[in-house]
Amino acid sequence: MKVMINSVHFKADQKLEEFITEKVEKLCAKYSEVIGAEVTLKLNNIDTPDNKIADIRLVVRGNDLFASKQTKSFEESVDACLDALKKQLEKYKGQNAK
């Protein structure tokens, strides 16, 4: 499974990319349906500290699952996205078990 990380208008450091890859691969290891993952990191141009946005798209057979979260750090945003995607994967797995 391949994890693609895109950062919009900035360069993500190696530690952040490793963190994201490790977390996404850990989630995807539990679900054989996941084919790939695309992570997009963005900074919102607002003056509040909650301006870090992470979008994660999981490519699964038949559908893509998507989550987007905005918090004060990219790590928090990624964790929040993965929590949402875990729920979506459970639902997807339940629908396809029928």
Q: Is 19 helix (H, G, I), strand (E, B) or coil?
A: helix
Q: What is the mean pLDDT of residues 70-97?
A: 90
Beta strands at 34-43 and 52-60: parallel, antiparallel or unpaired: antiparallel
pLDDT above 70 as % of the chain: 98
Q: What is the pTM of this model?
A: 0.90
Is the pLDDT confidence value at 86 over 70? yes
- pLDDT score, position 26: 92
Residues in the chain: 98
pLDDT, tens only, 55-76: 999 999 888 999 999 999 999 9
Q: What is the pLDDT of residue 41?
A: 96
Structural domain range at position 82: 2-96
**Overall domain count for the chain:** 1
**Which CATH number does the domain housing residue 39 bear?**
3.30.160.100
Strands 2-7 and 52-60: unpaired
